[in-house]
A and B are shown apart, each in its own frame.
Chain A
């Protein structure tokens, strides 16, 4: 057995011994190749206000020096882990706004210094929203224990818990929390769901939190996937009867299927819900409002039972590859609360694919969605990729620069429509990590980079997946224990209204 403690002591001694100011070697030979770094931040486009991109140099050497520079401004660091000081970093980015930060890595083996080919961080003048929120969840299937909805200041590394489900859990009465959402990137109108124990929807309306029971006799279920109307005081939800079933061999592992699903809207002023789309043979899901609040986008699959001896569930299990979603939209009149006819925005079924999770950019130019072979829960589908559709021309294309051969899904736009934040399983095929990519005015994405962390190897040990990433312009101010008090309280019953008003 190895005794790592000795190594740790030696490492500490070495660390102390090498604490002098690092200097770039005066002479070095060129290696003619990029260094192997983790995370892969080579030649990425970054926002001018992002936290320092820390990384580890994986190439073996006795000593390392890394220089980040832009013009005369440079930051030099020693060590295998490159972790720029946050003030130095932001000063450098301010200098490099609209230009490149050149990254040079030097490595010494014995007494010989070598230089890897430099790479760049292209610093976009487009800033990114300062906060994001996400749910941290183990990549499990049915079981759950501790889940948190957390918020992160992405100009630095500060992460805070918005709500932790253990705050209202007993040993055997846990609750799942999911689907946090905000109105217009602000947090005075927001929501998340609590399932099972203390179940309900924690809904903050104009800064006042309340717990809602959104289940009614006239709707399929309580609200599930939400979308706040950015202009008007309504929230669209899908309502779903969802099940999970497991692959015995396929690497996708699990299918999350809706036996039934519809769309409803919730009016927080009248505390009523009403059905929008509830066709029995159509599975409607993932609603999303256009920036003007007058169009509702959603995914929809037409699925009918072919063998009458089967139930829908049984047939969905057998024919799971036949469940394919198109992206539809309907206009909405905020005065009458009436919806217009269905318009197909992206007919994925015509190309034998399935498109879900439509997200319209705040400038109303592009529709971002996830495209896979089948189904709606693409986070479990390795083939799922992000696609962009130009709402002006109807043309669509895959975001190849941002995609990988693993699942990409659960994406959101920054408030200035220049950055997308999405979850991807490219790191290890199971744990979703958050990636950021720049999308220019022509809809061209840059190479995506993983959300930077204080410790470069953070993700290798972090045993939670990130999901439902959302941008925010401000943090959630309510404390977790204040939310816990709401969660433990009685839920206010929502009623059904046929008009929605």
Chain B
């Protein structure tokens, strides 16, 4: 093995091997981000906002590290096209690699060491999952990589200066850099101090050790502590406890308990490793520059390091199927591609409630809910995140919009914008909901803002045409179902942040003579999800009255049989039930008798195969649904 490795490296020389590894890393990362995570990247863009506008820039600069956030937001918009956004990100990782090698003078022999920060910076983002809805600092995807580049450039600049200039450089850098780069400027100052001390120790001159090494460390530490405190009084926009960490993500606390929680530690680990690694490189500066022959020691160390980095990135990649499906569904919903939205819901064993809701909305739009809605996996998979994830923060606004609850869609767009800052997604929801609510002044305001977002200008212009021609709103296919759903009387109400629970309770109760056939179907669907026979019968009557159908869809037939069987006072003799449905119901009832004595959860696997695509299975075996 040893011989093979050494022969290979000798044959192709180190530089070629490094280039090969680098190319492989870049290609794999780009492919994974562009294709496997394309929906995530699009969602990250939707959860960001960059405006080409002076006021936007000024507001960005009103906090320490604001410039970093501004640049981060600027770059995030390229994720509108995932392949482009991924390419930009990979290019920045490459710059980090090159800078690490140049700044710390790492030879080809140890070049793998320069790849470690790339893996860590990748993991910082791929670990995020549901945090994309909760991180408040703008441009968070790109901030760490830009911040790292800034640190490396600053250290490089410092290294170029004569040691007599070390203290002036560090003073100027910290004072000027902190407002722009926040924590990263302070960290760069620390790296400079470590580098200075390391060089002074190596120099062996006691005077230099004192007046360069030790003095630089003392000055740097004083500046790192004091500059943010002075700026705190100038900015007036941040608690003093956070001034030193401006620009770092905000997962300090468990949102549920507001106490430090060990579940947050893993999210910090890539940061800690990255910063510790750069400090280490500052300590061993220039000691990895020798161009000696490759030996066993090199191969073992580099292979281990590379393997560890790959494994770290693999395990830090948030790979929750439901999260990915939700993002794919969201993208398809914006495109009104309802078939795709429904089909994605089949790609999971147990869906989150968001997936189920999106699927039902899709089927309502496709008009196939009565025959399809219980043929998909159902349940309420726990959200894999350390915080309480509410639908109001993720896909709930879309649900409100699709169900014609425009005021609620608007309300949550604004509430979220208040907490997290305006994002593209919130602006789009606010525009659409206010457009359909016929509140054109406020819709125009948001359209004018979104027109300044370069990648979303086209979208804004598309919706602007409806402001100028409101009569076209009613004719637009895209708006048909939301407008049909918006036929209910105004009442004062509150959702307590539980979107699904609110919708399935309110829709069946929102009966008026105004109700449309679409509304009736949504009411019927909701009463089935609620397993509420009392709501089912009146809504079924309205549905039948409005639809004049030749055949009642299968799930509604199944519900008729089930509810009439549970309550024999209901006369369903006038309803035409397919023989196949009736026979399957009888067989279902016999099967339940066959497994008599078992608990529901024990019985469920046996019933799943034959009846898993029926309302009966949902009614009896999909239990303990917990909506978020």
Could you give, for residues 233-245 of chain B, a 1 whenever the CB lies within 8 Å of some chain A CB and a 0 otherwise?
1001111111000
**Secondary structure type dominating chain A contacts:** loop
Contact (Cβ within 8 A) A164 B418: no
Judge whether A10 is part of the interface by a CB distance below 8 angstroms. Answer: no
Supposing A2-B457, A172-B255, A462-B55 touch, asked if A167 and B407 sit within 8 A by C-beta, the answer is no
Contacts of B422 in A (CB 8 A): 463
Supposing A246-B408, A248-B405 touch, asked if A1 and B445 sit within 8 A by C-beta, the answer is no
Could you give, for residues 120-147 of chain A, a 1 whenever the CB lies within 8 Å of some chain B CB and a 0 otherwise?
0000000000000000001111111110
Judge whether B455 is part of the interface by a CB distance below 8 angstroms. Answer: yes
Contacts of B55 in A (CB 8 A): 455, 458, 461-462
Contacting residue for B53 out of A146, A253, A461, CB 8 A? A461
Contacts of B408 in A (CB 8 A): 246, 248
Contact (Cβ within 8 A) B232 A481: yes
Contacts of B437 in A (CB 8 A): 249, 251
Contact (Cβ within 8 A) A141 B490: no
Contacting residue for A4 out of B52, B56, B252, B411, CB 8 A? B52
Considering the chains assembled together, what is the distance between the CA atoms of A146 and B63 in angstroms?
12
Contact (Cβ within 8 A) B445 A430: yes
Judge whether B494 is part of the interface by a CB distance below 8 angstroms. Answer: yes
Total interface residues on A, using CB and 8 Å? Answer: 53
Could you give, for residues 33-63 of chain B, a 1 whenever the CB lies within 8 Å of some chain A CB and a 0 otherwise?
0000000000000000001111110000000
Supposing A144-B418, A479-B233 touch, asked if A461 and B439 sit within 8 A by C-beta, the answer is no
Supposing A248-B488, A249-B488, A320-B492 touch, asked if A164 and B237 sit within 8 A by C-beta, the answer is yes
Contacts of B455 in A (CB 8 A): 1
Query: Nearest CB to that of B491 among chain A residues?
Result: A248
Contacts of A16 in B (CB 8 A): none
Judge whether B441 is part of the interface by a CB distance below 8 angstroms. Answer: yes
Contacting residue for B454 out of A2, A140, A172, A480, CB 8 A? A2
Contacts of A206 in B (CB 8 A): none
Supposing A1-B457, A429-B441 touch, asked if A141 and B239 sit within 8 A by C-beta, the answer is no
Contacting residue for B407 out of A145, A168, A250, CB 8 A? A250
Query: Nearest CB to that of B56 among chain A residues?
Result: A461
Considering the chains assembled together, what is the distance between the CA atoms of A161 and B414 in angstroms?
24
Judge whether A245 is part of the interface by a CB distance below 8 angstroms. Answer: yes
Contact (Cβ within 8 A) A481 B233: yes
Contact (Cβ within 8 A) B445 A431: yes
Judge whether B625 is part of the interface by a CB distance below 8 angstroms. Answer: no
Contact (Cβ within 8 A) B454 A3: yes
Contacting residue for A245 out of B240, B442, B493, CB 8 A? B493
Most buried by B among A141, A168, A479: A141
Contact (Cβ within 8 A) B492 A170: no
Supposing A143-B419, A249-B488, A480-B236 touch, asked if A138 and B445 sit within 8 A by C-beta, the answer is no
Query: Nearest CB to that of A462 among chain B residues?
Result: B55
Contact (Cβ within 8 A) A167 B239: yes
Give the residues from 455 to 491 in chain A that come closer than 8 angstroms, CB to CB, to chain B: 455, 458, 460-463, 479-481, 484
Contact (Cβ within 8 A) B237 A248: no
Considering the chains assembled together, what is the distance between the CA atoms of A144 and B585 in angstroms?
52
7 smallest A-B Cβ distances: which pairs? A249-B490, A461-B55, A140-B418, A143-B415, A480-B236, A138-B418, A245-B492
Q: List 29 A-B contacts (CB under 8 A).
A: A2-B457, A5-B52, A138-B418, A143-B415, A143-B416, A144-B418, A145-B418, A145-B419, A145-B420, A146-B237, A167-B238, A167-B239, A170-B242, A171-B252, A172-B258, A245-B494, A246-B411, A246-B492, A249-B486, A250-B407, A250-B490, A253-B407, A253-B410, A430-B442, A430-B445, A460-B448, A462-B55, A479-B233, A484-B239
Residues of B within 8 A of A (CB): 51-56, 136, 232-233, 236-242, 250, 252-253, 255, 258, 405-408, 410-411, 414-420, 422, 437, 439, 441-442, 444-445, 448-449, 452, 454-455, 457-458, 486, 488-495, 506
Extra contacts, 16 of them, besides A4-B452, A248-B405, A253-B407 (Cβ < 8 A), are A4-B52, A8-B52, A140-B417, A167-B239, A170-B239, A170-B252, A170-B253, A171-B252, A246-B407, A246-B494, A248-B493, A428-B445, A429-B441, A430-B442, A481-B232, A481-B240
